[in-house]
Amino acid sequence: MILQKKGIRFFVLSCTLCMLCGLSAQAQMTRGELLRKFYQITSLHNSGRDVDAIAVCEEIVSVYPSYPDTYRRMAEIYDEAGDGELAVMMYRKYISLEMDDAKVAESRSRLKELESKLGVPHYDDEEQAAFERAVKPFSSVSRPSSSVSVPATEWPDDAVQSLPSEDLSFGSLFDILSLVSSAESDDESEWLEESLAEIPVDRRDNPISMEQMGSVAEGLVPDGYDFVTQVPDSVINTVDAIFARMDKDRNVSEACTEPFRFVAHKGLLDGFVAKLDGGGSPLVRKEKFTSASSVSGKWISSLYNEDTGLEFLIVDIRDIGNGLSLSFDTDCGLFREHKNNLLKTSWNRIKSIWSTDGARYDVRELEESMSSVEYSDDYLFVSCPLSKKDRPDLGAMGKNLMDNLSVMVPFGNVVSRLGGSLLNYIIKKQGNASFQTVIEMTFKSVTDDVLSCEFIVRETQVASGTTKTVMIDDRTFYMFRAPATYEAFNYVNTDGKSPIYRELYGRLQTRSAENPSLLFPLAMMSYCKIGMGGGVSDVSAFSKALTQMQRLSDEGCVRASAWLIPVYYNLSMDVQHYPLRSQRKHFRELSVALLDNMLQKGYSFAYGLQGDIISGGTDGLDEAVESYKSGMRSGDPHSCYRMGLALMDGQSVQRDMYEAVSCFRKAADMGYADAYLQLALAYKNGSGVERDYKRYISYLIEAVETGSVDALSELSDAFMWGAGVGRDVNDAIAIRRLYFKKKDNAWLDALEAYGCLVDE
């Protein structure tokens, strides 16, 4: 009984805290640490300390919430202790996450016994009923009378292959489409019906009205695009020129015999080459400030939003004669908000000024200059107390949370009642509490133009005569000196919105019936929602991309299969959008079937894909290394690269930087762009080689020109630091913009590889 009460408390508390506070997972454990944790669980359980064993399990769950074996161990502990309800909950969770039927057989049998004993519906029956409800909106959509096949005459003989499982014709593709689209919350049957139709494209001689187009146009064409009028001649001429160029280069179809990895970015750095070639200077560290005035100026943080490039922090430090003052630029990321759909409230994007009770702050006080700047030769210290702007209704938040919880987990009503009691206690306790939150920043000198910043947010809580200090945020990053006119960098992706891409999408859709290789750039455009219009949802566009890529894979395109393997595998682990095991298991089977077929055919890169899939879990890392070794022996550059990373990290193999560099060299010699990046970092840090900033920059250039996108980000940092190049903030930002453009527009590489890139 004690275990039951404490076990429920652990479970409810963990669910409540994770959902209420949005806690991020802890740092990942090494394989050795994970094995020690499981050994500790077994030891504690054998010695009768089940509550402590469950606590260790909860610790693992907080880091690996989708790792099935932890739930199996909890289920067995609860089962032996006689806590049937909790055992059922954990067995169900384990079975839902474990895709191997052989592994779950024993647990499934025991689960049925417990379900019968407790008089609750069987998990398998509930799963089947839920699956039918999930795909029901799509069952009414009429299927084509016969499967659609595409001629494979474009492929070399050795590239044509068939899957060892059932033929994945359009009929089975419809099932995949329905399965993927079942993640959509709204009824998507209309879009599914539309997706079975081809979009008429050639409108020069026979303009087609919206009525003639039918409902397909509504979802695929942006607002304001009128099909009644003819497509502008400039658009037609541009797309005609693209296809004329493609028809001239007949080698693009042969690309389907190779996995799609990197597209060379030759000439991308032409404007920076002179500055890059003149580099080689080491960093000169200055760990003390020379004077207060030397710190004056505008400073921007190295920490920025990975989607937009918006800096987390921008500050102005001014010498006011009798001391220093600091003010914040309110365009930086510190002041940005986003919504949390679960709690129906909002707080700052960077959780630094988010209170533990969910309140926000009046940031206007941070816009004014701060006079409390403490200066010495060793550091600058700034303290900024915050006043609350508002406080949400915790009762309403708690009710919403418990309502969600009651439908998300088995026995949710029980958990909801317990969680509700816990929240009422917290609300009552916090109702009489007072809070004071303070931002503290400590700046130290690194070079003349670089500072380190320790950024801390503390909250002091006073309740019932007790004072408690809570650390809300604690991070350290760098600050770079910027021009006084510097404005916050916020990248907005506008590529792919022109009518040219809508015309190109439609033309590719028609031409792909004759030339199946064009399904690859078409699928990449679908995947990124380019040329489809603004009315298409993410899930619908993704479904379309899968359909097109699977058709291409059925025709024997190795490139399409290589793309699908990790995509299907990732879908099989997507518990958020596909909570049903039957959904995810189908995706896993598709991934494994494609991978097995490639391994049987002897494609060297399949070993690298296999290793990546194995290493994506928390066990089997030894097998992943063996896959990479097999790929290396077969000449796969990706396997060489991944083996280098394994040797560098020291997981499953002994850490060896010299051997890691050797693997990166082998991969780079075979044209693997990111291997050049790793070589650059090795020379920058002196890892496995002597530190050499000149080689650092030269390898970065090679990495960019070979096609590494991440190398652009590193090169931007090199300009920001002045490492191996002359320091130039404007050049750093210009290169960062290139980085975001390439990172957010992978479809452009696909168009370029197939000769259909738009020159705008």
Residue 122 clears pLDDT 80, i.e. is over it? yes
Mean pLDDT comparison of 152-156, 396-400, 573-577, highest-scoring range: 573-577
Higher pLDDT, 176 or 56: 56
C-beta atoms surrounding 340 within 10 Å: 14
Are the CB atoms for 288 and 462 separated by under 8 Å? no
What are the pLDDT digits (tens) for 161-194?
333 333 333 334 445 555 666 665 444 434 333 4
**What is the model's pLDDT at position 41?**
92
C-beta atoms surrounding 485 within 10 Å: 6
Q: Between the CA of residue 606 and those of 507, 630, 660, what are the distances in Å?
A: 32, 10, 21
**What is the model's pLDDT at position 72?**
92
Structure confidence at residue 372 as a pLDDT band (50, 70, 90): confident
Kindly tell me the burial class for residue 406, based on how many C-beta atoms sit within 10 Å of its own C-beta (0-12, 13-18, 19 or more): middle
**What is the model's pLDDT at position 333?**
82
The phi and psi torsions of 475 (rounded to 5 degrees) equal -150, 155
Q: 45: Cβ–Cβ under 8 A, 6 or more apart, which residues?
A: 53, 77
DSSP state string for 150-162: ---TTS-GGG---
Gyration radius of the chain over CA positions:
29
DSSP 293: G
Mean pLDDT comparison of 17-21, 549-553, 574-578, highest-scoring range: 549-553
Higher pLDDT, 408 or 131: 131
- What is the distance between the alpha carbons of residues 431 and 428, in angstroms, rounded to a whole number? 5
Mean pLDDT comparison of 121-130, 131-140, 643-652, 672-681, highest-scoring range: 672-681
Residue 408 clears pLDDT 70, i.e. is over it? no
- What is the distance between the alpha carbons of residues 621 and 54, in angstroms, rounded to a whole number? 26
**What is the model's pLDDT at position 257?**
77
Structure confidence at residue 260 as a pLDDT band (50, 70, 90): confident
Residue 26 clears pLDDT 60, i.e. is over it? no
What are the pLDDT digits (tens) for 218-253?
333 344 444 434 578 888 888 888 888 777 765 555
Which residue carries 């404005």 as its tokens?
487
**What is the model's pLDDT at position 401?**
55
Helix 538-554 to helix 558-571 angle (10° resolution) is: 140
What are the DSSP E strand ranges found in 376-449? 380-386, 388-390, 434-447
Residue 751 clears pLDDT 50, i.e. is over it? yes
**What is the model's pLDDT at position 46?**
92
With a pLDDT cut of 90, the percent of the chain lying above it is 28
Residue 350 clears pLDDT 50, i.e. is over it? no
741: its two tokens: 């453009």
C-beta atoms surrounding 199 within 10 Å: 19
- What is the distance between the alpha carbons of residues 77 and 71, in angstroms, rounded to a whole number? 10
What are the pLDDT digits (tens) for 315-340?
999 887 778 888 888 788 877 654 44
Helix (H, G, I), strand (E, B) or coil at 472: strand
746: its two tokens: 């992978």
With a pLDDT cut of 70, the percent of the chain lying above it is 69
- What is the distance between the alpha carbons of residues 450 and 285, in angstroms, rounded to a whole number? 9
What are the pLDDT digits (tens) for 542-563?
888 998 999 999 888 899 999 9
Structure confidence at residue 78 as a pLDDT band (50, 70, 90): very high
With vertex at residue 238, the alpha carbon angle to CA 233 and CA 243, rounded to the nearest 5 degrees, is 125
C-beta atoms surrounding 198 within 10 Å: 11
- What is the distance between the alpha carbons of residues 299 and 608, in angstroms, rounded to a whole number? 43
Overall average pLDDT of the 29-46 stretch: 84
Residue 491 clears pLDDT 80, i.e. is over it? yes
What are the DSSP E strand ranges found in 420-554? 434-447, 450-463, 466-482
Are the CB atoms for 315 and 299 separated by under 8 Å? yes
Q: Which of 106, 112, 109, 142 is nearest to 126 (CA)?
A: 112
What are the pLDDT digits (tens) for 190-223?
433 344 343 334 433 333 333 333 333 333 334 4
